[in-house]
Structure formats: C-alpha cells, structure tokens
Structure 1
Amino acid sequence: MSSSTAVPGQSPIAETAPQSLCALEPRVPADRLVAEMVPPPRFDSVRFETYEPDPDQPSQREAVEVLSSFAAGLGGAHATGTGRRRWFGKKTAAPTGPRGVYLDGGYGVGKTHLLASLWHATPADPSLKAFGTFVELTNLVGALGFQQTVQTLGGHRLLCIDEFELDDPGDTVLVSSLLSRLVEAGVALAATSNTLPGKLGEGRFAAADFLREIQGLSAHFRPLRIDGEDYRHRGLPEAPPPYSSDQVTKAAYATAGASLDDFPALLGHLARVHPSRYGALTDGITAVCLTDVEPVRDQSTALRLVVLADRLYDREVPVLASGLPFDRLFSDEMLNGGYRKKYFRAISRLTALARDAKGLVAQ
C-alpha cells in the first residue's frame, strides 16, 4: 500500500498524522548527557578551513589564527605530576596566565563555528574532549552531582562551553567552583558568549554581591573579541512571512517525521519538561510545524523558548509557523532587559530555521 495519498494540486498527504511535541516527555539518563557532549549535528563537519572571515572584520581572521595555535598547543601530555598541563610542544613550564579562551561577540559572527572547530582541531581522543552549552553543563552537574562531574570532566584535555551566561547566583557559585576545580586538574577551557566575562550576570541579578566569583571566572580566560554582522542575515533575503494555519497543517501532514503543535500549547508543555531534555524532545523530528504563534508573555516562558530554539538550530530542524513573525515574539521590555542577548539570538536562529522551512510548503 502506498505511504501517501496524492491530492491534485497539492503535496502528497502522509497517511500517519504528524507527531506532537506536547505528547512527548523524554527521559535522558546521565550517561547520555555525558556521551552527547560533542559538537551538535550542525557543527559536526565545520573546521577552521570552512570558516569564512569577513574581510572587513580583521578580528575574525585573528580569531582563527589564535584558536588554531591554541588547539595545536593542546597536543602535549595531558598533565605533569603537579596536575598542570604542558601546553605548547617543547615548553615544560606551565603558563601563569589564563588557561582558556573566551570568544566574545554579537549574534551570528561564527563563534560556535569557531568553538566547534577548536574541538575538532584539538589533537586528542574525542573521549578526552567535551563540548556543550552552558545549560547542558549545569544540567550535567544536576544529573551527576558536583564531585562526579569534576571526576568525569577532570581527565579531559579540553572543555568547550557554548553560550556562556550567568542567569542567577546559584549558577555563578556553581560554575565558578566547577571551572576552578577543572583548571586545577589541567583541563583547558574555551567558551563563547555575547557578554564579556567580567560583565556576566549584569542585569540578571545583584552581580556585585558575587563579584569574587565573577572575577574568578574571568581570570580563567583570555577574552577574544570577534566583530561583525550576523552571517545568517548577510546577503540573504528577509525572513519569510508566516504562513496560514492551513498551509502549516498541510505541510506537517505531507512531511515525514514532522511535528505539529499549537504554539501556546507547546509553551505550556515546555514548562513541564526540563530544559536538559529539549534536545531529546526533538529526536527523530525532521521539521517543527507551529500554528498560532503569539507573543511570549513572561520571562520564564521566553527563556525556555530560547533553549528550544538553540536545540532546534543545533540539530538543523526547520521551523514552519503561522501567526506572528518570529521577530515579534518578545516584547520591547524583554529586548531591552538583562536577557536581551539571548532573545536576539533566538530570533536570529528561528529566522534562519524559518528560511530552511520554505521548501515544505507547496507552491
């Protein structure tokens, strides 16, 4: 029997209804969290050679050169008897400066591309390198416990942390303690963020009360500024306008492996699923179809949506939607508040995924 039914003038309609993300409540064992600390599918094949620096932004070319040297310097023995690594080839003395690099820049300048390229270029077994977002790192501590996380990551040569942000005092104390222990164990660090390390937490909580922890975090890194415009918008057309709910629904039924959800219902479901499981929530999903996209009303919901947008972008899952355009998801108050950089990143990434979804709609 045929797997689809042809309708004149329309795309074939799948016999089985699309999945609903709202019906999924994945469970993610701790060992999977550790095993998945590698660059996500979107960045699995990137390398320094595939990064295209903007000729008008010399800091982008400099970043490639600095990170290439940094990766080459991680090829020596993991650590000496004192727990300090021999960093650069023939040198035997441990450095006294920062033991990590911190890529600071706006949205879409290629920071994650460069971070993943560093992971790939570091001459070490993949089991001795870890790559994850800041959220995934804190989730790992929650799953394993602090001491077990130190033991698990302490034998690594490199820890790459994407989207480094401090959203609350608990994160500040936790991450400051964790990274200090890992540096003592000889682990090299690399991170990306839209915020300089000394400014982490600004606008989110009383950062001045945790100045010692923030300054301690900053001391681990050499900041590397990367200037430029969002490459996702460089020379590309404007984001496609939303489709009708009927178009989105038909596309969901015509696309094998697609999901179909009402946007407000999905936001409600995200509140019941821990953000550490948002990646697993999209396992096997080939496209996310959303109807009735509307403004996000509160900050907690908005931050959960940011995490989902990141996971969808990492996994290259196109997003087809009806309702409000993605650049109107967040209020002016949110876009001018302490989490504004997260919201702009989500808008940028959802816009890119909306472009990817254009081919799902029958013309």
Structure 2
Amino acid sequence: MNMKQKWILPLSMVLMILTAVGCSNSGSEGASSGEAGSTDSKSYKIGISQIVEHPSLDETREGFLAALKDAGIVEGQNLTVDYKNAQGDSTNNLSIAQTLSQSENDLVLAIATPSAQAVVSQVKDSPVLFAAVTDPLSAKIVSDLQKPGGNVSGASDTNPEAITELADFIGTELPDIKTIGLVINEGEPNAVIMAQRAEEAFKKHGITMIKAAVTNTSEVQQAAQSLVGRADAFYITLDNSVVSAVDTVIQLANENKMPFFSSDRDTVEKGAFATVGFKYYDHGYQVGQMAVDVLKNGKNVGDLPVAMQEKLDLILNLKAAEAQGIKVTDEMKAKVKDPENNLIQ
C-alpha cells in the first residue's frame, strides 16, 4: 500500500462517521418534532363524573377523550383519567363529587346535569367542564352563558330549535297523532325543562302530552305500558333514568304499532323512529376542545362561553318506522339534510 492509499481509507471512514452522526441528529430532530406534534411532554390528570351509563353519555365521554388525543393528550401515555360512574344513584353522585374535590386534578369533566350540579357544588380548586347538560342556567350550574366566570364552563346538549323542529315534523307529516305519551323522571331538572318546551311545541300543532312519571329506571316499563291505549305515540326527553331503560319503550312501541320519538340520535339508532339532533360523540369532542384550550393554551375556563350544538338535522330510522307501522314518505325523507348519515336503514 502506498502513501496515497494510506490516507484514502481513514478519510473514507471519517466521512462515513460524520454522515452517520448527521443522519442520527436529523432523525432525532424529526422524532422529537413528531412526538411534540402527537404527544404532549407534560403529564395530565383528569377526573370524570358520569351519572349513569347509556349510549349518549358514553359517546360524550369518548368524544371528549378523542379531542384530547388529537391534541397530544393521550390516555395511558401522558394522561391519567379517574373515571367514576354514579350508576344513577344520587348518593353516589355526591360522594363522587366530594372525592374529586379532594383529588389533585388538572381538570374535572361532569357528564349530565346531576353530575354537573354535584361537581360544581364541591370542586372549587380545579377547572370544571360540563357536557350533556340541557339548561345550565336553570340548573344553576352557571349564571351567564357568555361569561360563566369562576372555574366552570362547558356545553349544553340541547338547542330549543330541535324540539320545535321535531314537533313541526310530527304535526305536518303525521297529522293523525293527537296525543303523545311522555315517560319522565321529574326528579331530573333537565327532563322537566325539556318536557315543558316540548309540551308547548306540541300544543301549537293540536297535540296533547300525557305524562307517565317514574322515579328510577326500573319503573320505565310499567310507566310506558300505562300509556298504551291512552296515547297515539311515545316521546322521551334527554332523561337519564328513561334512556337507560329505553329498550322496554322500543319493545312496546313495536308491539303496539306506536310511533316513538326521542330527543337523541343514539335512541333512534337503537329503535326509536325519529328525532332532530346530532351525534353525542361530536358534542363530547366539542367539550374536549375546550379542555385543550384550558390545559394546553392556558385559557381560563370561566372565560370560555358555554357552547351549544348548532348543526341540527332530522334523523329517521326506517327499520323502526316499519316495526311501528309508519309509512315513510318521500316528503319525510326530503326533510333530512344529510340522508347518507341520518337516514338509518
């Protein structure tokens, strides 16, 4: 080997090493950048109080967590979730709120009106967001929708226009319905408020509301049965006690060929005929985005206006219509703005 050859080999090795180091640094920067975009380096703890398990509330929770995940706050990685379900019990509900008040949470989410009322009364040192609350003003969860103040804000899961539009649909497309039976737990403020709005909306179309009261989920079947023969159709609000036992109402509606109208999409997917509404997953996602504003963007939760669902559509279940003896006309279908998603086959 001559002198020239002796220099070539070491120089080649040096170049290879420098190239490898450069690639390694470049790869580290890319990974770091990707991690920053997908997973926040900070760790978070969130407490969740949910009054009961049923599809709408579960979808709300899933949508909320999905919004956090999309912002890099991922359960099991940099997010710890303390999820508690009261199983519809008021004593459990208050106990959960008290427990959350003593925990060091970066944020607390309350799902449904009873949970929100309990959490707001107990949790004072953590930001609180609520979801699936019908009327946060009447429920005394906040005193101002635009500037809630304090440590509380969230999103309402109702838009008064939804009830009006559903009543208009029934009055126009199903004129034979003159009485509508409502199963209701009057111990739930959200159910009472919605029932009052619905009664006024139905009255404009000459439809009388007949109520059958319950105090818990186990009484729903008997209450619904009491409406058979007295009402032309069934209707339920966003009533947690009733929605939890909605299968019994669906069964009675099908057996007796009574149209069944609900206040949420999930119940229509299960077997009610129609509603005017939205996806609760999207509702939860909306509240999740508010949580991101608080956790990552440093927003004061009390400065965030209470949100409301603006995108409403008529949702029809065609299989339920057949089971309940309803002939779905082209005029009915034409009222659905997004038939691909909201005409359920």
Q: Same fold (TM over 0.5)?
A: no
Greater gyration radius: 2
Could you state the TM-score of these two structures normalised by the residue count of structure 1?
0.31
Higher relative contact order (CA 8 A, sep 6+): 1
What TM-score do you get using the length of structure 2 for normalisation?
0.32
